[in-house]
């Protein structure tokens, strides 16, 4: 197994902001296409990202920025939402919408995002992290396993629409 790439010194992590909306929407379109072969409805996706960026109760985005932390380009993202566990009397943080621009993959962007989320989660009293990954996305699964994630023994099922 190869060691994780060292984060680039010109990278920083910050909270997603409204002025990141277009980039986050673009990354989510790419994520859906690359990982699931799906084309998302642009208006719905834009409204969903906008709602989360405006209401921290829904979740939050963390973004990796190259160069100037205030104005540099966003090169990666990770969204966090929470789930209460009555069995464990605590919050799990769910990692969602994880995406790193293709030109920045293998340069430690995901590890930097993950370490920031872990630190924030600990500070906020979260008890663990969860995520779901497409069953055929073996590259992502390998990355997650390399970073301490294990199969939780559950299948994710959904019912759409209600």
Find the mean pLDDT for residues 99-121.
Answer: 97
Domain boundaries, the chain: 11-146
Tell me the average pLDDT of the chain.
94
pLDDT digits (tens, 9 = 90+) for 62-101: 999 999 998 999 999 999 999 999 999 999 999 999 999 9
Write down the pTM of the prediction: 0.91
pLDDT digits (tens, 9 = 90+) for 23-58: 999 999 999 999 999 999 999 999 999 999 999 999
How far are the Cα atoms of 87, 120, 154 from residue 113, in angstroms, in the given order? Answer: 28, 11, 25
Does residue 1 carry a pLDDT above 50?
no
Does residue 2 carry a pLDDT above 80?
no
CATH 3.40.630.30 fits 11-146, yes or no: yes
Of the candidates 56, 97, 75, 104, which has an alpha carbon nearest to the alpha carbon of residue 13? 75
Contact at 8 Å (CB) between 61 and 76?
no
Does residue 18 carry a pLDDT above 60?
yes
């Amino acid at each position: 197994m190869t060691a994780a790439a060292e984060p680039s010194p010109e990278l920083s992590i910050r909270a997603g902001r409204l002025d990141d909306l277009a980039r986050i929407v673009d990354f989510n379109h790419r994520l859906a296409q690359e990982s699931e072969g799906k084309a998302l409805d642009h208006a719905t996706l834009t409204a969903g990202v906008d709602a989360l960026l405006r209401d921290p109760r829904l979740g939050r985005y963390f973004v990796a920025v190259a160069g100037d932390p205030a104005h540099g380009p966003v090169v990666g993202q990770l969204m966090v939402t929470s789930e209460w566990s009555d069995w464990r009397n605590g919050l799990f943080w769910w990692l969602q919408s994880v995406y790193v621009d293709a030109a920045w993959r293998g340069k430690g962007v995901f590890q930097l995002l993950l370490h920031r989320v872990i630190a924030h989660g600990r500070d906020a009293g979260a008890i663990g992290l969860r995520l779901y990954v497409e069953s055929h996305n073996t590259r992502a699964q390998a990355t997650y396993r390399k970073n301490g994630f294990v199969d939780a023994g559950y299948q994710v099922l959904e019912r759409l629409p209600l």
